[in-house]
Structure 1
Amino acid sequence: MATDLNPEHRERILLEILTDCLDDWIPVDRVIGYAEEAVEEYGGQPPAVFRALLGTLLERALVTVGDIGDSGYEPWDGTASEVLERTVNACEELGWDPRLAGPWVASTPEGDRLAEAHASS
């Protein structure tokens, strides 16, 4: 996933996303927002930066992506790459402006652990 983010910048943004997920699930809109801010600061294209950020979080099993259903948050099944593609497709269908109509992102226990360690440092 080619982006203009260097590893240090990417890791900082990943921790910001995880910290945002600590209190509750977040709409995918927020991750798009982090990607757009990164593009303004570091360059690149928003969809590529979004893919890099969310793809890294999914590959490291730090977040899940899913829908809000009758039972609350319902994570999607599939591999990290399958969930990433499903998420990107949903965002594309909504013109990259989901306005709470798209998928949701939730941190895993490992994602929470990293965010809490970051928040207390």
Structure 2
Amino acid sequence: MAGPVVVAAAVVIEGDRVLLTQRPSGTHLAGAWEFPGGKLEQDESPQAALVRELREELGVESEVGEVLDVTWWRYPMKSVLLLFYRARITGGVITHLGVADHVWARREELDGYAFPEADEAVLGKIRALLGGG
């Protein structure tokens, strides 16, 4: 098996809500809810990948902050190294360019969304950031 796919994901919190995006049909884990982001391109930093992915998928400009969490997960056909960063939207209006949908979810609403297993580990930290443990 080749090395892991490296993915950068943005944890964008505004007030008491976090931004979630829904994977489009025809993709791995289609319909699942996740934190926006995507695979790093060759010789691309995780921060640059996040800025690019948020622009390509959501049509917004962003600023990437500190690392929130790092998770490694093995799916049947590949393994993934997920780098979760705090980020904020600095310009533009969210448009569904590469996602099926988006929501701003409150802490108590997170259990109502189907996340990929690889995202489950970071949810505790996000709940804490949204005001609880």
TM-score, normalised to structure 1, is 0.25
- Structure (1 or 2) with the greater helix fraction: 1
Structure-2-length-normalised TM-score: 0.24
